Structures are given as C-alpha cells and as structure tokens.
C-alpha cells in the first residue's frame, strides 16, 4: 500500500486513543475512539445544506468547506472526548476512495498532527470503515458477509477472517444510494433524497411493480440504472396520458425492487460462503425497509446480523478509527508520504 510501513510496533499495548479524520465526501468528521471500539466523541459536520441547492455534491465546494471546518471540528471532538492532543496515541485518516480535493484536507491535517505529536499515522480505506462500523456495536464473527450500500458504493464483501476483504459482487453502474438520489429527484425531493423515498415507500398503500435486475444466475453483481430508467419512464407515461404519476406507488415499487435484489444476493452469498454473520453498512443501511427485510431473512436463515445505528451508517470518523484499529493492533502504520487516493482497492488494504 502506498505510504505504508509494516516495521513499526504499537507504542502501547494497554489503553490507547485513536483520533480519526474523515473528509472523503461531504461530511467533515473527527472522532476520538478508545481501544478501537469505545467512542469518546464522533463529531460530524454535514455540508448537505450547502450542496442541496445544486442537487448533489460539488467537489470544489466540498473541499473548501472541509478546509473551513476541519480545525473547529477537531477542537470540538477533543473537547467532547475530554482529552487533549498529548493524550492521542495514533492518528487515522480516510486515504480513499473519495473526492481527491476533499480527501486531501483530511490527509494533510492527519499528517501534520501525526508529525507534531510524533505518533503513528494510519491511512484507512473508507469502505473498510463502513464495514468495521459494525465492530463499534458488536463482536464480528468470521467468516462474515458484508452488504455495503452507500451513496458511492454497492458491494458484497466476504471477510474470511478479521481484516481480510474479498469483493464478490459490486455494482456495474449506479450505487444504490445514487439510484435513490436520482429517483428522489424525479419524485421532486431535495438532495440527498434516499430518506424521503424510504418514507414515501413505507407510507404507500399501492405499489407499481418494477423489474428486478438479477443479472446472470450466479452473479453477485448489481445494476440499478435500468430500474432508475423504469421509474422515469413510468412518470413520463403517466404525464403523456395527462395523468398525475402516483409517486408513492412508484417509490414503493422502486424500494421493493432494490430490497429484493440486494437482500436476495447477500443471503445467497452468506449461504454459499458459509458465513457465520451478516453485516449491513453504508448510508443506505439507514433504510427502514432494508433493515426490516434483512433482519427477517437473516432470522429465517439462522444468521446473526449486525447493523450499526443510523449515525454510524452514514459517513463518520468513528468508523475510520474502528477500521484503522485493525492496522494499529498489527503495527501496520503509514509513512508521512501517505497520499490521498480517489481510487483505492479494498482488497489491497487488507491486513
């Protein structure tokens, strides 16, 4: 891995405090986590209000906002945790994947802190963070299957053992969250529209049944662009007939299709790979319908399921500390030439 140095050992084997920074997209977040699992603070400053007017994240604005907030959020995280900088034993930061300008702000801040405090630096993979958010809420039993559903990623990841990531399926086009946001826009909701579509789908009394994109019978990959187009053409068809489109029946149809496919594939993967646990993570894991369906399918299959609370599903720095802890405990630290990587392999980041 770029900027890694396996030769150093952890400075302490007893209690340790990791300070983590996450700036990969539109949340500036800093957390202080004890022993990789106990959250002392997890301060998140969202830029949603700024990006809303543009209907999506504007990368250049995101970077500037991170620059404006990072020091304030850092101070707040330390204050909330009741610790000072000299108490910090290691600094973790999202190295990638993400928006390059946004990542850079966190990486530069983390390197400066690690250098000034003379403590180890750990460049961390954003998706490993989403997955290990589960370690903040319970013990992970291996082998485990992680269903990662976020605004930028949709993946089924096999963890044969701790910190070893193998991607067995991924989206071939839109990420689930991206599809939610695009459909939400067509249903006239503001960005990010996932939670609005979720709510409307829950309240719907009718459902317009939409296609399921299963792809090849043995595939764990996903495709959501056809489903998104199906929603758009339903809206157009109604309007051309002079009718008002039934947004709630469409939201329900869209959500049911997404949930059937993502849960169906995740359960099949768990069976095929003999998983002892299912992990749900990423921003879309906040979806009520998805949580409920996956819970009942896992119960039927006798498969224990972990789902982080909503605050740990969307982007936050505590999850970055939880993933960085994998490297901390193995003394796998980064060097100060660590670079922000907009594209970064999860499998290569394995311990």
Binding residues vs ligand KG4 (CB under 6 A): 25, 150-152, 177, 180-181, 192-195, 198, 282-284, 286-287, 314-315
Annotated binding residue 66: no
**C-alpha separations of 42 from 136, 147, 169, 205, 226 in Å:** 12, 23, 31, 38, 37
The least distance separating ligand KG4 from the CB of residue 189, rounded to whole angstroms, comes to 10
Residues 6+ apart with CB under 8 A from 272: none
Q: How far apart are CA 8 and CA 122, in angstroms?
A: 12
Annotated binding residue 58: no
Q: How far apart are CA 123 and CA 128, in angstroms?
A: 11
Q: How far apart are CA 279 and CA 302, in angstroms?
A: 14
177 binds, among Zn ion, ligand KG4, none (CB under 5 to 8 A by kind): ligand KG4
Q: How far apart are CA 289 and CA 287, in angstroms?
A: 6
Q: Find the binding residues for Zn ion in span 294-323 (CB under 5 A).
A: 315
Annotated binding residue 238: no
CB-nearer residue toward ligand KG4: 36 or 194: 194
3-state helix, strand, coil in the chain (%, to 5): 45, 20, 35
Span interacting with Zn ion, options 93-101, 150-158, 162-170, 222-230, rule CB under 5 A: 150-158
Rg (CA), the chain: 20
State both tokens at 298.
Answer: 């896992």
Annotated binding residue 194: yes
Q: Which of 100, 99, 98, 102 is nearest to 129 (CA)?
A: 98
Interface with Zn ion, residue 23, by CB under 5 A: no
The least distance separating ligand KG4 from the CB of residue 333, rounded to whole angstroms, comes to 25
Q: How far apart are CA 206 and CA 253, in angstroms?
A: 9
Annotated binding residue 87: no
CB-nearer residue toward ligand KG4: 176 or 267: 176
Residues 6+ apart with CB under 8 A from 59: 99, 100, 101, 102
- Contacting Zn ion (CB under 5 A), which of 150, 223, 257, 332? 150
Classified as helix, coil or strand, 65 is: helix
The least distance separating ligand KG4 from the CB of residue 91, rounded to whole angstroms, comes to 21
Annotated binding residue 41: no
| Binding flags for Zn ion, 61-80, as an x/- string (CB under 5 A) | --------------------
CB-nearer residue toward Zn ion: 88 or 131: 131
Annotated binding residue 315: yes
Q: Which residues are annotated as a binding site?
A: 126, 130, 148-152, 181, 194, 198, 287, 315
Q: Which residues are annotated as a binding site for substrate?
A: 148-152, 181, 194, 198, 287
What is the contact surface with Zn ion in residues (CB under 5 A)?
150, 315
Q: Which residues are annotated as a binding site for Fe cation?
A: 126, 130, 315
């Amino acid at each position: 891995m770029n900027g890694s140095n396996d030769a150093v050992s952890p400075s302490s084997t007893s209690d340790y405090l990791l300070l983590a920074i996450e700036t990969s997209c539109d949340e500036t977040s800093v957390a202080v986590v004890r022993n990789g699992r106990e959250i002392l603070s997890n301060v998140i400053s969202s830029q949603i209000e700024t990006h809303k007017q543009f209907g999506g994240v504007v990368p250049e604005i995101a970077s500037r906002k991170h620059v404006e907030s990072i020091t304030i959020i850092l101070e707040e995280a330390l204050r909330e945790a009741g610790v000072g900088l000299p108490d910090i034993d290691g600094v973790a930061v999202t190295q990638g994947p993400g928006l390059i300008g946004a990542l850079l702000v966190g990486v530069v801040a983390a390197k400066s802190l690690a250098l000034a405090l003379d403590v180890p630096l750990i460049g961390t993979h954003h998706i490993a963070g989403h997955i290990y958010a589960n370690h903040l809420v319970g013990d992970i039993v291996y082998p485990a299957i992680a269903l990662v559903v976020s605004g930028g990623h949709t993946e089924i990841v096999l963890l044969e053992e701790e910190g070893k990531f193998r991607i067995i399926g991924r989206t071939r086009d839109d990420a689930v969250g991206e599809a939610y946001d695009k459909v939400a826009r067509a249903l006239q909701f503001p960005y990010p529209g996932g939670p609005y579509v979720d709510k409307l789908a829950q309240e719907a009394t009718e459902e317009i049944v939409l296609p399921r994109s299963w792809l090849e019978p043995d595939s764990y990959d996903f495709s959501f662009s056809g489903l998104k187009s199906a929603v758009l053409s339903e809206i157009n068809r109604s309007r051309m007939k002079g009718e008002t489109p039934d947004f709630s029946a469409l939201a329900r149809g869209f959500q049911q299709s997404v949930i059937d496919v993502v849960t169906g594939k995740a359960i099949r993967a768990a069976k095929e790979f003999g998983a002892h646990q299912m992990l749900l993570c990423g921003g879309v894991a906040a979806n009520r319908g998805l949580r409920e369906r996956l819970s009942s399918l896992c119960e039927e299959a006798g498969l224990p399921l972990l789902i982080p609370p909503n605050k740990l599903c969307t982007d936050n720095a505590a999850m970055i500390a939880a993933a960085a802890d994998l490297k901390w405990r193995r003394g796998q630290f980064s060097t100060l030439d660590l670079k922000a990587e907009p594209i970064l392999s999860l499998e290569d980041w394995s311990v």
